[in-house]
Amino acid sequence: MQPTAGRIIPVVVIRNADRAEALGEALVAGGVPVAEVTFRTAAAPEAIRRMATNSNLLVGAGTVLTPDQVDQAVDAGASFIVSPGFSQAVVLRAQHHGLPVYPGAVTPTEIMAALDLGLTTLKFFPADVYGGPAALRALGAPFGQVQFIPTGGVSASNLADYLALPNVAAVGGSWMVPAAAIEAGDAETIKRLCAEAAGFVAAAVKVA
Ligand code: 3PG
């Protein structure tokens, strides 16, 4: 399964790996069975390791900035790699491991560098700052073969604008996995926010 299948990817910042299993269960129960666990915390590899034992959940690594972090993510059992920007070294290492990789690319030059490495699904981050839906629409003209995952400033209130675009594979965001709720082990809140988000996605996809 691809992380874009459900058209929404929670971006997770987790400080305590002991919260990982419950978080994974909350995501599944909320109908969003995928997680991009960011390497912004030291707990990320262990959290990925624990969440990857849940066979109903697709777990990847995010904020991967170096080839060494790719190796750590692979070792922990990550199923995909996400990077905020385009690093050839990161992409090549992920490809070496045979893992899907979604680097960030917001300019035509970055997109072409990614195409050179055979990539056609790219993160678009921070989506709100780099022009939002209007920018993605414009990039669709020269890059008809590219699908984007806009992330950064995406929320329940604007995800429909993104998902309506033919070149948006999925949206990413942290609003359904607030760090405070993860920290507090508040699975109910995460489950509720995920279910809400999944509902908005379903409605947006039906309208589009
Ligand atoms: C990411 O790395 O994808 C972002 O930090 C998520 O952006 P958001 O917090 O605005 O959803």
Query: Helix 20-29 vs helix 44-51: angle between axes, to the nearest 10 degrees?
Result: 50
Share of the chain above pLDDT 70, in %: 99
Query: Helix 67-76 vs helix 44-51: angle between axes, to the nearest 10 degrees?
Result: 30
Question: Does any domain span residue 14?
Answer: yes
Nearest atom of ligand 1 to the alpha carbon of 175: 11
Question: How many angstroms separate the alpha carbon of residue 175 from the centre of ligand 1?
Answer: 8
Question: How many angstroms separate the alpha carbon of residue 153 from the centre of ligand 1?
Answer: 7
Question: Does any domain span residue 198?
Answer: yes
Question: How many angstroms separate the alpha carbon of residue 38 from the centre of ligand 1?
Answer: 10
Q: What is the pLDDT of residues 122-172, one digit of tens each?
A: 999 999 999 999 999 999 999 999 999 999 999 999 999 999 999 999 999
Contact 153, 127 (CB under 8 A): yes
Separation of alpha carbons 24 and 6, rounded Å:
16
Is any ligand 1 atom within 6 A of the Cβ of residue 132?
A: no
Q: What is the pLDDT of residues 17-46, one digit of tens each?
A: 999 999 999 999 999 999 999 999 999 999
Average pLDDT, the chain: 97
What pLDDT does 1 receive?
84
> What domain range is 189 assigned to?
8-100+154-207
Question: Does any domain span residue 148?
Answer: no
Question: Does any domain span residue 167?
Answer: yes
Please confirm, yes or no, whether 36 is among the known catalytic residues. yes
State the CATH number of the domain containing residue 79. 3.20.20.70
Question: Does any domain span residue 138?
Answer: no
Separation of alpha carbons 208 and 198, rounded Å:
15
Number of domains in the chain: 1
Q: How confident is the model at residue 205 (pLDDT cuts 50, 70, 90)?
A: confident
